[in-house]
């Protein structure tokens, strides 16, 4: 998923979020820190949110079902992916891929999954903590091998 596609999806979902939450346009604009006029333009699909507003919307409405369905899971995971490509360190615990994810392969205590909506990849450990995310399958497979190899050496040393 490209960053501009992410912005478009968030833009297209804002009205659903507002209606589902029962907010007026005035209240929603206040929550997002924009004018009502700007919100109306976004809802009428005349303009997109832009990166900063898309990130703010994802942070504020992270648990919103419409937003999660549109993006294929936790919206902040995608924000983090755009911000911090190729990071390999344990992240927050996930649900383990029960929804929106298919298993690509596994190695040692790690599993490589692909999101069925955004098509990005992630590596989880046996405790469902996210270690790596990328849109690049080859890089993800490479990182999986590195993580599994590193983990295997630690077990042998211990």
- Measured in degrees and rounded to the nearest 5, phi and psi for residue 116 equal -75, -15
Q: Which domains does the chain have, with CATH numbers?
A: 3-82 (1.10.260.40), 85-157 (no CATH)
pTM: 0.63
- Please report the DSSP string for 36-102 in residue order: HHHHHHHHTTSS---HHHHHHHHHHTTT-HHHHHHHTS-HHHHHHHHHSTT--S---B---SSSSEE
- Residue 6 structure tokens: 């992410």
User: What gap in Å lies between CA 18 and CA 20, rounded to an integer?
Assistant: 6
pLDDT digits (tens, 9 = 90+) for 113-127: 999 988 899 999 999
pLDDT of 89: 55
Residue 141, exposed/middle/buried by CB under 10 A (0-12, 13-18, 19+)? middle
Distance CA 34, CA 27 (A): 10
34-41 long-range Cβ contacts below 8 angstroms, 24+ apart: 39/14
pLDDT band at 76 (very low <50, low <70, confident <90, very high): confident
pLDDT given at position 81: 80
Q: Given this model, what pLDDT does residue 154 score?
A: 40
Residues 42, 48: contact at Cβ < 8 Å? Answer: yes
CA distance 39 to 57: 12
Asked if residue 105 lies in contact with residue 144, where contact means CB atoms within 8 angstroms, the answer is yes
Measure the CA–CA gap between 152 and 77, rounded to whole angstroms. Answer: 27
pLDDT at 85: 60
């Amino acid at each position: 998923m490209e960053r501009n596609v992410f912005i478009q999806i968030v833009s297209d979902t804002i009205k659903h979020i507002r209606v589902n939450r029962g907010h007026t346009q005035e209240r929603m604009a206040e929550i997002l820190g924009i004018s009502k006029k700007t919100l109306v333009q976004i809802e009428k699909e005349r303009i997109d949110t832009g990166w900063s507003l898309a990130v703010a919307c994802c942070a504020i409405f992270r648990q919103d079902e419409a937003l999660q369905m549109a993006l294929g899971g936790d919206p902040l995971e995608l924000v983090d992916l755009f911000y911090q490509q190729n990071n390999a360190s344990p992240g927050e615990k996930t649900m383990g891929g029960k929804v929106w994810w298919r298993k690509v392969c596994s190695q040692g205590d790690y599993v490589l999954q692909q999101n069925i909506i955004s098509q990005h990849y992630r590596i989880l450990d046996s405790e469902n903590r996210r270690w790596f995310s990328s849109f690049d399958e080859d890089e993800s497979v490479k990182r999986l091998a590195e993580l599994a190899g590193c983990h295997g050496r630690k077990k042998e040393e211990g």
